[in-house]
Amino acid sequence: MAAASPPLLPTTVLPANTTATATVSPAPTSVSSADANPAATRAFLARLLDSVKRALSGARPWLELIDRSALSRPESLSDAGARLRKNLAYFRVNYAAIVALSLAATLLAHPFSLAALLALLAAWCFLYLLRPSDAPPLAAFGRTFSDRETLGGLIVASAFVVFLTSVGSLIFSALALGAAIVCAHGAFRIPEDLFLDEPDQANGAASVNLLSFITSATGGRELVLTMGERERSRELMRPWFGYMFSPSLLANALHKGIA
């Protein structure tokens, strides 16, 4: 009789331990860009305030502007146009301040439009105008954008905010209201007692260069890829930023248009 074999112990087959090497990829960030140079930002704000102070220093006394004894009805349309041209040359800073106050009051009455404009201005400053020259290209959504692409995106965003929302109509209505007030006062104000000094005339021409601090504040950064495109872009953008930053420049443009 054969000896009984010992019982078989249960065995469990373990799967082979496969260690997979996972490559850890950094989580993509939504937007990564170099912070604006604090020194350039401070220089930009300081020169902006200095330019505004220089422009407002040419304002005429407000009591002279609202002198009721110097108001009379013009005899004809040509007389009204002649009065308006002289008064624009003399009260150009005061008139620009009136238009700016009209625009500010309209935007303050519509906080959404004001916030949209401030956000748009901040995007222009920190993504384009105030970015240092040695900053890396803007990175967003897993890809990098060149200066030309960034400029194109800002232009598209500006067109969307101004023309496809209520911001454009508000700005137009505010400027139209301010221009109507200026034209009415200029047509009814008798300009015989007004004398325009030669330094004041030179001050109007000097206000065109008030935006030269933007280039120095950015550290000479190339705004677009080629020199010719940079100059053309600067010449196209300079008047619009000039009307925002310089009251006297806006008044000079209105005066030249009427003259």
Q: What is the pLDDT of residues 89-126, one digit of tens each?
A: 999 899 999 999 999 999 999 999 899 999 998 888 88
In this prediction, residues 7-31 reach a mean pLDDT of 49
Tell me whether residue 11 is in a domain. no
Highest mean pLDDT of the ranges 40-44, 181-185, 209-213, 251-255: 181-185
Spatial contact of 178 and 98, defined as CB atoms under 8 Å apart: yes
Tell me whether residue 22 is in a domain. no
Tell me whether residue 28 is in a domain. no
Of the pLDDT bands very low, low, confident and very high (cuts 50, 70, 90), residue 256 is low
Tell me whether residue 18 is in a domain. no
| Sign of the Cα pseudo-torsion (77, 81, 87, 91, in order) | positive
Mean pLDDT of the chain: 72
Tell me whether residue 179 is in a domain. yes
Least confident of 12-26, 137-151, 242-256: 12-26
Tell me whether residue 108 is in a domain. yes
* The predicted structure's pLDDT at residue 126: 82
Range of the domain at 219: 33-59+77-258
Tell me whether residue 101 is in a domain. yes
For the entire predicted model, the pTM comes to 0.57
Of the pLDDT bands very low, low, confident and very high (cuts 50, 70, 90), residue 177 is very high
Tell me whether residue 9 is in a domain. no
pLDDT at position 186 over 80? yes
Domain count, the chain: 1
Buried-state track 8-45, b at ≥16 Cβ within 10 A, e below 16: eeeeeeeeeeeeeeeeeeeeeeeeebeebbeebeebbe
How far apart CA 120 and CA 252 sit, in angstroms, is 26
